[in-house]
Every structure is written in structure tokens, then in C-alpha cells.
Chains A and B, each alone.
Chain A
Amino acid sequence: MSTTPIADRRTTSVAARATDLSKIYGQGETQVVALDRVTVEFRQAEFTAIMGPSGSGKSTLMHCVAGLDTFSSGSVRIGDTELGSLKDKQLTKLRRDKIGFIFQAFNLLPTLTALENITLPMDIAGRKPDKQWLDSVIQMVGLRDRLGHRPSQLSGGQQQRVAVARALASRPEIIFGDEPTGNLDSRSGAEVLGFLRNSVRELGQTVVMVTHDPVAASYADRVVFLADGRIVDEMYRPTAETVLDFMKQFDAKGRTS
């Protein structure tokens, strides 16, 4: 696999950080702790995968760090901005200017063409896209001849590539993916993950992705494992096998304990 010395980058600055982050639903007896004092850092130009069984809190962690969900206590920082004190309006602006999103489904507006979908965040902000950058992003995801198509005329893989391009186009500080390959066949999924990895390696983009697929996680530089709302372990330079092994162990531990 890759031989790039990841260790060199660990010293670089942090794109997002959660400190003692807790998220509690309900009160008293019906109280459910989704996140229990989680502290985690996402470094710049690093591709991180968050893994864990369902109900482990991996999606909640991502939503809180990405400014989509509120949290009960602790703090979240994107770059220099503390999220806890922000109002909805400021959060929206933050998402618009500093964060890119790739969802499992429903990433695109059916009424807009592929190109219009890609530039949508900049349109919302009222900014002109950087032509050269946009060109290189489109080149990278290989959508040059599909730009005028509507989402309904694109395959699922192509749609997700449009979503990746959209996330990259506005040069956000960090991109969050919520099971971005969940609805794709393995070939299309591999393509999309390849683009995400390239964006980190070649463009220095920061990417955080929630997934339950060990193969998807193997594209990342680092995997963070979550269980019962806590970070239980992390792994650098994962492969599908090592991740799967860890999961199996973890599963076994979970059952016997």
C-alpha cells in the first residue's frame, strides 16, 4: 500500500477537535448517553474513518463535530471556531464556508445540473467559484462530459462523484462523509473512496468519514473505533484485514463481557 510517511504530518495543525464531548438524550430513567466525554482530534490533510457497531455513537459524533447537531457538554472546534456558542445562523454560515458534506443519499438537487450542484454551496454564499480549482476538481472526479446532466440522468456512482466534487469545490477546511459509499456497488464505492484519498494526498484536504465497511475504512490514514459513546481504540494505516480483525475481536469481547 501507500508508503507516504504519515508520521510527518501528525505534527501539523488540527482541523477539528472535540474535547470532553457528551450528548445525552432524555432525562432520568429514560436517559440515553449517545456520546460520553469523547475527546478526539482530526488533523489537517488526514483521512480519518470513524467506525463502530450501530448505536455506538459514530454518526452522532460526526453530526456534532460538523455543526449539524447540538451537544450536551464539552466543546467542539473547527479551526479556531468554538461551535458550542454559535447560533443557528452562525452555524449555517460555518457549514457553508468551512465544511463540505457527502451524505449516503440525497446529496443532489434533482432540479439542478451536475455543475450547478457542484457550485451550489458557493452560489448560496454568493461567491464566484475559483475556475482553475473547479476545473481540477472536475478533472479529478472525471465528470467533464456529464456537467450538463441532471441527477436523474446519472448513475448512483456518478451522483456520488458529483457530491464529492461539490464538497471539494469550495475548498472547505474539512469534509465530512456519512457512509458515502453505503448505497453504491463495490466498484463505484472504490472510485469514490479513491477520489477522497487522492484529495487528501494530492490536495491536502482533511476528510472525516463515518463507515461500517472495513474496506472503506482501509482507504483512510487512521481509523477511530467507537463503542457505547466512547472512543475505544484507534489504528493508523489500516488495511481491510486489520480492521476486520479488530472488529471481530471487539465483537467477541463485547459478547463475552
Chain B
Amino acid sequence: MFRTALRNVLAHKARLLMTVLAVMLGVAFVSGTLVFTNTISDAYQNSSAKGFEGVDVAVQARYQDSKGDQVGKVPDLTQAVLDKAAKVPGAASATGVVSGFTAIADKDGKLIGGGWQSEGGNYWGTKDARYPLVSGHAPSGRNEVLIDSRTAERAGYQVGDTVRISVDGPVLEPTIAGIFTTDDGNVTAGGSLALFDTATAQQLFGKKGAYDEIDVTAKAGTGQAALKSQLDAALPKKLVETTTGQKLADDQAEQISSSMSGLRQGLLVFAGIALFVGTFIIANTFTMLVAQRTKELALLRAVGASRRQVTRSVLIEAFVVGAVAGVTGLVAGIGIGAGLRSLLGSLGATVPDGPLVITPGTVAAALAVGVVITMLAAWLPGRRAARIPPVAAMSALHSAPTTRSLVLRNTIGALFSAAGATVIVAATTMSGSDGQAPMGLGAVLLIIGVFVLTPLLSRPLIAAAAPLLRGFGVAGKLARQNSVRNPRRTAATASALMIGLTLITGMTVMAGSLQKSIDRMASAAIRADYVVSMANGNALSPDVAKKVAATDGVTASSPLSNSPSRIDGKTEFLTGVNGSAIGKLTDLTVDSGTFRVAGSDVVVDDDTAKSHGWKAGSAFTVHYEDGKAQRLTVAAVYEGNQLIRGIMLDSAALTPHQSDPADMQVMVKTADGASSATKDRLEKALGSNPAIKVQDKQDLSNSIAQAFTLILNMVYGLLAMAVIVAVLGVINTLAMSVFERSQEIGMLRAIGLDRKAVKRMVRLESLVISLFGGVLGIGLGVFFGWAAGQLVGAKMPTYELVLPWARMAVFLLLAGTVGVLAALWPARRAAKLNVLAAIKSE
């Protein structure tokens, strides 16, 4: 049987090509993902391991949990702790580490690198072993800084140049005292690092006289574990914790691989979708191959092959196809993995160097996926092949494909669809997270139901297209009839396309609606013309608020500062605002009471008020982060939203209790509204700081839109794979249909249908099938988008369903284009058929 199967594969090379391609794409996606994530993960681990080479034991402050009325906090690692650590007998040296956000501007005043990769730290003493100097000398005071060699090279800085640097507020303009090299993972990954002397760094990063971490190196002969136990004994156990360098490296490695596995899983989901779509094509191909070989298989049965042998021969064929697809897919996947890495590199995200990692697991996964998917998909056609009676070999007539009743199928499909839709609609009435699980279940049921129902749906939906096709004359009429001729085949082909479009449309609807609602929220609740914040989301220095308030044309401004507190034994974050200005800067709906923020009068959002059982006029005791208590009164309860919520009180009341006052953002209202001149004035007042963003409402909504566009584009890119696989499916179906109908086409040509019309007929059939899949997919996508939105909407009062009509038209157009493109080759083949040969061929 194996030989027969192998011969069959070779005999139908061309017809199996699309199947192989479809499986191959899925496998390539899977193995590409594995190669890429393994490679990156390995490279990061190597580079981070290097970064821990100089650390034998790290001493860090232990977080003190919130207890009773005491707000939890991190104690300082003081100079005294450092001195104690340095005196431990096994310690060779102890280095205090201070770090924080530090933005470096290039020569044009623009921020170097993404904001989240801009780091700053301290240079220890006069010679710091962590950062070997390439040139220059150790920094001293606020006017000297060191920068890493990669950043210096990128921006063209040299020792002696003046550089603009911002930590959390005013711009510093120190000279570059020196340039150093480092293995710091952040720098090797494309970030920047600036170093000050220790005292300056402590001051800049708000750690006066204290450190973030103390790195201790061991004397020769003392192990890391021994040093750790010495330190544990010497240092106050309640306040600090010690970790060996090895453990730090291991932890970091684990963290890297777990963050990589998140990425990997995300990518594999998309690979899975592509493979799922591929199964439709495999099943379709094998069904057609079996139908075409009815006589051949019957002959095998007649000469004594058992049913099992027939099934097995089909499965062996599938195995061969799957194995070929697996191997080629693996090779393509390795290429993809390598390509992705250099793509990342060219996008500016410097990935640490390292060899391409191809694990045995990757190879095994690629082959297993290829073979298992193909064989699973070919299983049903294989069973069908076994049911061919031996007598079919004798019948002279080409046996028409048995049109088994669709009644059972339709009943099952209707039940599934109805159940799915009901569950989804029921889930939309639930609140937020409760509805997620039922909605997922409903979505799966509905998709299965629609799959099963597509043959039934194909007739009415394609009939609806008849008026359009009538314009194409006979070709259109024949195309329409051909497309409903084998509803199962049409359905499977269209379904493949449907999946991709369902997901694409669903995502688009969701993203569009979310974006709109966040936009509306921002414009509804905020009256301020500008919002000033840090590029990386860090806190702003209190100086910023003062400078903004003093700028010409500013009529009202308020910082928003954040501070933890304990209320009734619960941690609540307090928002400190300028009480006299906040009313002009926000436009909050007041549920009860009078909006007033001054002295001990505060305003509270509805959710917080509800959770504490407060009403306007209620009084409560707050314990600030410094432990002091105060009695506050709820002046008003307002409707909170995603941007503004919580307890707002006057900065004058809050600031004295904050150890390190810092503002998350500053809201600004100006006399003449938002204009570029005002914006310029504000930016100038803030010293044209590269790290500080001054955004008007349009900027805010643009940046929201940008974030959504980025995510959507990534999802589109990933789902494109599923669409490409679906295109292969359409090509395959058409090619097979043309092959099966060659006699008919020959007859049509003989009685006067010209080549152009034959081509048009095939193209229109393809178009009809593709648009059918497109309409189903877009319809389902909108439904899912609506349903998911109902869940989100429960938490977001401004949520509103936005139907992206233009996008949906583009998707439909895309489906049509897919159809036309997929038909190119089959249509050419049909038109080129030799009339006589086609008629004669039995």
C-alpha cells in the first residue's frame, strides 16, 4: 500500500502543491517563532549574565508591608548599612548603586532612544570597576557627567562637549567628563546610560544619603553563599534582603524567558490560526483527490484491498505531504527567525548579538505540526474513501459526487449557532470579567455553528449576488451556478477566508470603539488646554508645576500628585491637586454635594465612595504615608472615569506629608486656548526639556490613536498569514474545479464561449466564493466586536460601538481582490484548455 500511496503523491504533485504550501506556511510560522524567541532569549540571558559578573551579593531594601494605619514603604539603604556591609570579613568591596530615569538629548535637542530605555546612575569613587573608562575622567558635581560609548557614538558626542540632560524636571547642561563601556543589558539593547558622581546621583534621584542597592564583591576564597550569610548576620534583617549574584542572574534569566514565552505564546496563537485555516484546505484537497480517484480506489477494493488499507493509503499520502511540508516549513521558519532579528535591528531596537538557536524541540515541533495537522485533516476523506464500494470500478459512468443530505448537518449547525449566539448575548448583560468566560465559550460555539452551516448559507447568500453577476452575461450565470454546485467545497474554501476576516474585523471594531471612547472620555472630563508629563510616565519634579504656573498666559494650572495612604485599614491613593484651579481644569459630573477641594474638604469618585459607604458630607480619617492622621470631609461625590478618579485633595494638605513630592502630570489652562505659540512658550519655560511632553487634547488623542494603530497593524500583519493560507485554498479549489470540469469547459468552448468568457467565468466563481467568505467573516467580526464591546462598556461609561465602515469596505474589497488574484492561474488554465482534448478526455 505504501508504494501505491507514494505513487499517488508523485502523480498529483501539482495538485498537492497548494496543500504543501498551506501547511508549510503554518509550520514556518511556528518554527520561525520558536527560533526567533529562543535566539533572542538566549542573547539577552548571555548579556544579562555578563552584567552580574561584578556582583557576588546584592543588598536591597526590604519592602515594609502596609499594616494598620501605616502605609507600606521601602526603607533607605543608608551609608551606615554600606559601611557595615563593607566591613564583613569576606567582603572585598562594597559599591552603592543609585539609579533612575535620565534622558539624554542629542545635538538637535531630541531624546535619544525610547524614554523607557534612558537610564542614569552613579559612578563609584574615582575608579568604578563596573564602568571602565574609554576616555576622560571620573565625574564630579552637577556639571560633569559620563555617558556610555554607544550613546556617544550614536549622537556624535565627545569628551568636553556640553550635553542636555533631564532627570525629572529642569534641564541640566553638564560637560561630558568621560566615556565608558558597559555590558549593561539595557545599554546593549539600545538604551542610554549617564553616570554622575554618587552624591549628585543621590540628590538627582531623590535618595539623599541613600542607595537603591549595595553590591558586595567577595574576597578570593570566599564563596557567594558564605558572603551572603556573613552579610545576613551583620545587617538588620528586617530592613534588608541579600541575594547572591548567581541568584540575580538566574532570576533575570527566568524573567527574560518568561517574558519571551509570553511573546512566543502570542505568536503561536496566530500560527495556530493559520494552521487551522490550513486544515480546511488539506481536507478539501484530499476530498477532491478521493472523489477523482473513485474508480481507482474501487479497483483496489475489487482486487482485495480492505477498507482499512484504503484509508491507510490515503493517510500515508497525507503523511508524505505533511512531512514534506514540515521539512520545508522548518527551513523557511529558520529563515523567518533570522529575518525577524535583523528586522528588529533595523528598526532601531538593538538586540544583543548571539548565534541563531535551533533546538531539537523546534525541529520536532515543526515536523510534528506538519505531519499531525495534515493527517488529521485527511482522516475524514480517508474514511470516505474506504466506503467506496468495489462495484464502482465497473460502472461506466463517471459517478457524480454523492450529494448526501445536508439535513443532519444543518440541524447540528443551527443548534450550535443558536446556542453560541444566545450565550454571547446573555454574556453581554453580565458585568465585565464575569462575562468573559461565557463569551469565549459562546464565540467558539457560534464559529463552529457557522462553519457547519456555511453550505446552507452559501445558496441564499450567493443567490443574493445574482443581480450583480447578471451583468456579466452567461459567464456570470455559469459562475454563480458553479459556485453553489458543491456547497461543501465552497463552504470549506470560504470558511478558510472567513476566519481571518472575522478576527481582523472583530479587532478593528473593538479597537475603533475603544479609541473613540477613550477620546471622548478625555475630551469630556478635561477642560485643560495642555497636559504636561514625563516622556516615560515617570514623576515630574515639583519645579515643573511652579514654572508652568509662572508662565505668561497660563490662567490656571494644577499638578496631579500621587501618594499612598491608609483609610480604614485599606490602601488608597490620594491625588493632590491645586484646589483653587482644579474646577477650571476638569469637567466632572457631580453626583451629590458641592465640588470643593480646599483644606480638609475633598472630592471622591463614585466607586471609591461606594466602597467606603461615603456620601457627600461624610467624614473619615486618613493616615498619610508619613504616618500622620487627619480628618477629611467628603465635599462632593463625582463620576469617575479612566483618566480621573479617586480621592482628590488640596496639595497644600498633602505635600507636607510626602517624603519625595513628585507630580504625575500638570494640567494647564491658558488665556487664549491651545495654540502652537502657547505650546512653544510652555516648552521654553520648561527649558525645552527633551524628557517632558507638553500635549494638547489633539496630541493626547493622537497618541492614543497611535498606540491603537500600532497594535492593530501588528495584529493585521500576523493575521495576514491566515489570509494568505486562505488564498492558497481558493487557488486550490478553483484549480481542482477547472480540472474536474474540463469536459464541460471544452463543450462550452466548442459551442462558442470564447477564452475571455471562460476566464471571466472562473474569475467570477472565485470572486463569489471569496466575497461569500468575506461577508460571513465581516458579519461575524462585527457581532463579536459588538459583544466584546458590551463587556467593556459595562466598565466604561463613554463606550460606544463604532463601526468602521470604511475599513469594512476595504476588507470586503480585500476579499474580492483575494478572489481575483487566486483565480489568475486557474482561469488561465481553463482558457488554455484544448477544446478537442477536453471533450474527448473521459
Contact = CB atoms under 8 A, between A and B. Distances in A.
B841 to A, nearest CB: 10
Interface string B473-513: 11001100110010000000000000000000000000000
B400 A92 contact: no
Given A63-B836, A103-B747, A152-B400, A121 B752 contact: yes
Contacts of A103: 747, 750, 839
Nearest to B757: A124
Nearest to B742: A106
Main secondary structure of the interface of A (DSSP, over half): helix
A106 B839 contact: yes
A109 B743 CA distance: 10
B753 A92 contact: yes
Nearest to A111: B481
Interface string B296-323: 0000000000000000000000000000
Main secondary structure of the interface of B (DSSP, over half): helix
A101 B835 CA distance: 13
Interface string A72-101: 000000000000000011001101110011
Sorted nearest first, the 5 A-B pairs with minimum C-beta distance are A96-B752, A111-B481, A92-B754, A106-B743, A123-B474
Interface in B58-107: none
Nearest to B842: A105
Interface in A99-118: 100-101, 103, 106-107, 109-112
B749 interface: yes
Nearest to A108: B747
A126 interface: yes
Contacts of A110: 400, 485, 744
Interface centre among A88, A111, A121 (most CB of B within 10 A): A111
A68 interface: yes
B752 A109 contact: no
A88 B755 contact: yes
A100 B747 CA distance: 11
B755 A95 contact: no
B220 interface: no
Contact of B751 (A63, A88, A96, A126): A96
B835 A68 contact: yes
A41 interface: no
A109 to B, nearest CB: 6
A126 B743 CA distance: 23
A149 to B, nearest CB: 15
A125 interface: yes
B720 interface: no
A138 interface: no
Interface string B447-481: 00000000000000000000000000110011001
13 contacts: A63-B836, A92-B755, A93-B752, A93-B754, A96-B753, A101-B750, A103-B839, A110-B744, A111-B482, A124-B473, A124-B757, A126-B474, A166-B751
A45 interface: no
B549 to A, nearest CB: 79
A126 B473 contact: yes
B747 A106 contact: yes
A92 B749 contact: yes
Contacts of B754: 88-89, 92-93, 96
A95 B752 CA distance: 5
Interface string A24-55: 00000000000000000000000000000000
B503 to A, nearest CB: 34
A97 B752 CA distance: 8
Contacts of A109: 478, 744, 747-748
Contacts of A69: 836
Interface residues of B, number: 24
A123 B481 CA distance: 15
Contacts of B750: 68, 95, 101, 103
Contacts of A111: 478, 481-482, 485
Contacts of B478: 109, 111
A226 interface: no
Given A92-B749, A93-B752, A110-B400, 7 more contacts: A69-B836, A89-B754, A96-B751, A103-B747, A106-B747, A109-B744, A126-B473
A71 B231 CA distance: 102
Contacts of B755: 88-89, 92
A93 B749 CA distance: 10
Given A68-B835, A111-B481, A101 B751 contact: yes
Interface centre among B473, B744, B754 (most CB of A within 10 A): B754
B400 A124 contact: no
A92 B474 CA distance: 15
A120 interface: yes
Contacts of B746: 106
Contacts of A126: 473-474
A120 B751 CA distance: 9
A126 B471 CA distance: 11
Interface residues of A, number: 27
A125 B748 CA distance: 12
A95 B744 contact: no
A106 B744 contact: yes
Interface centre among A69, A97, A106 (most CB of B within 10 A): A106
A106 B485 CA distance: 17
Given A63-B836, A106-B839, A125 B752 contact: yes
Interface in A106-159: 106-107, 109-112, 120-121, 123-126, 152
A253 B156 CA distance: 103
Contacts of A106: 743-744, 746-747, 839
Given A107-B747, A111-B485, A124 B753 contact: yes
A126 B474 CA distance: 8
A95 B839 CA distance: 15
Contact of A121 (B477, B751, B835): B751
Contact of A68 (B743, B748, B836): B836
Nearest to A167: B751
Interface in B752-797: 752-755, 757
Nearest to A63: B836
B156 to A, nearest CB: 67
A143 B477 CA distance: 23
A92 B752 contact: yes
Nearest to A106: B743
Contact of A124 (B474, B485, B744, B835): B474
A51 to B, nearest CB: 19
Contacts of B744: 106, 109-110
Nearest to A156: B397
Interface centre among B482, B485, B836, B839 (most CB of A within 10 A): B839
Contacts of B836: 63, 68-69
B740 to A, nearest CB: 11
Interface centre among A69, A93, A96, A100 (most CB of B within 10 A): A96
B470 to A, nearest CB: 11
A90 B307 CA distance: 52
Nearest to B477: A123
A230 B257 CA distance: 84
Given A106-B839, A126-B473, A152-B400, A112 B751 contact: no
Contacts of A97: 752
Nearest to A152: B400
Given A68-B835, A68-B836, A111-B485, A95 B474 contact: no
A124 B751 contact: yes
Interface in B559-608: none
A202 B561 CA distance: 104
A18 B408 CA distance: 60
Interface string B825-842: 000000000011001000
Interface string B793-836: 00000000000000000000000000000000000000000011
A107 B754 CA distance: 17
B752 A112 contact: no
A89 B757 CA distance: 11
A28 B191 CA distance: 77
A129 B1 CA distance: 56
A30 to B, nearest CB: 19
